Structure 1
Amino acid sequence: MNISAHQKAFAMVLSLGLVAGCSSTGDTMGEDEYGSDVQAVDQDGGSTVYGGSEDGGVSSTGLTDEEMREREERAEQEAMRNITTFYFDFDTAEIKPEAREVLVAHARYLESNPNQQVRLEGHGDERGTKEYNLALGERRANAVERFLIVNGASRGQLETVSYGEEKPAVMGSNESAWAQNRRVELVFE
């Protein structure tokens, strides 16, 4: 599964849609259209929020390139944080390279929100004994926990639990089903 490429593409489309949706058309709305003193677009083509005067509100024309990059980066981080399931190869607890960037986004979020709690639920596929799969699910959850801590999350924000093979995401006895069941899910509380 190529999480990184798909998620980057999704984040870019989301960012472009946000920028396109927020861009102005050059049309103005007068008082008589809505019965208020709010002016949606100023004379220079930038939009003004709250009021129509220069002394009140926030204008989009005042954003620097750096502020725009920061805004786009925040939108990309937000899109990456929507990914909360991380998959593993058969019989390993090694985090896949394509999951690392997304986990870093989660770690940064947790670092900047110290009261946020997250439960890391480790899972395995149906192959192997129940005991082995419980231990493997725990190793997977612990691997994600260590990665998050190294990248800024606090140990006190994280709880790990292993369900082994007991809560499959997909029913079936084939490689496709097994691949979807070998996972760690982040459950934010």
Structure 2
Amino acid sequence: MAKLTTSLLIGTALFTAACAKKPPAVIPPPPGQSVVDPNAGQPSIAPGSRADFERSVTSNTVNFALDSFSLDDRARAILDSQAQWLTRYPNVPVSLEGHCDERGTREYNLALGDRRALAAKNYLAARGVAPGRISTISYGKERPIALGSDEASWAQNRRAVTIVLN
């Protein structure tokens, strides 16, 4: 009987060993850690698209001082990053929108918004972007992004915004 019991134990051990799972090809991370795919659940972004532009440049917006259309160092750095992207995609048209804060007359702000858009356009053109692919429009004070009537809101509204048109 001892031989039968020993044979059964050996047979069971061999059967269990033969049925054991093989290790996975990819070992999962230890508990408490997760593997995150940075592109999971995200739509693919087409090169040369508006989403690609907004992802690739420092900002699509440059800001201005009160009653000014002069580009400061930060605005020039932002426009430099835009010029690099626009040079990479020479067939992509853009529009530059000029905006103002709520102070001043409608006519004054439309004219100032136009000068802001033209200042950004001229800077991009000086960096090698064909001026024919850059349109400009002034919205004056008609399209604020900050609705407050304080300096912080006004500073956000004094801007030129580059919009990819495709």
Give yes or no for contact 1:80–1:102 (8 Å, CA) kept in 2.
no
Q: Looking at CA atoms only, which structure, 1 or 2, has the larger radius of gyration?
A: 2
- Taking the aligned partners of 2:108 and 2:54, their CA distance within structure 1 comes to 35
Q: TM-score, normalised by structure 1?
A: 0.58
- Taking the aligned partners of 2:54 and 2:100, their CA distance within structure 1 comes to 28
Give yes or no for contact 1:122–1:163 (8 Å, CA) kept in 2.
yes
- Taking the aligned partners of 2:77 and 2:145, their CA distance within structure 1 comes to 23
Among 126, 137, 150, the alignment partner of 1:150 is 126
Amino acid of the residue matched to residue 33 of structure 1?
A
Q: CA RMSD in A?
A: 2.0
Q: TM-score, normalised by structure 2?
A: 0.65
Give yes or no for contact 1:110–1:154 (8 Å, CA) kept in 2.
no
TM-superposed deviation, 1:113: 1.3
Among 19, 23, 33, the alignment partner of 2:25 is 33
Q: Which residue matches 1:163?
A: 139
Per-residue CA deviation, residues 119-178 of structure 1 (Å, 9 max, x unaligned), is 100000011000000000000000000000000100121010000000001101111110
Number of residue equivalences: 117
Q: Which residue matches 1:87?
A: 63
* 4+ runs deviating over 4 angstroms: 77-80
Quick check: 1:133 aligned with 2:109? yes
Higher relative contact order (CA 8 A, sep 6+): 2
Quick check: 1:123 aligned with 2:99? yes
The 3-state SS of whatever aligns with 1:33 is: coil
TM-superposed deviation, 1:184: 0.5
Q: Which residue matches 1:175?
A: 151
Q: Which residue matches 2:81?
A: 105
TM-superposed deviation, 1:82: 4.4
The 3-state SS of whatever aligns with 1:187 is: strand
Amino acid of the residue matched to residue 111 of structure 1?
T
Give yes or no for contact 1:108–1:152 (8 Å, CA) kept in 2.
no
Identity of aligned residues (%): 43
Name stretches of at least 5 consecutive residues in structure 2 with no aligned partner.
1-23, 27-52
Name stretches of at least 5 consecutive residues in structure 1 with no aligned partner.
1-31, 35-76
Per-residue CA deviation, residues 60-100 of structure 1 (Å, 9 max, x unaligned), is xxxxxxxxxxxxxxxxx986604101100000000111121
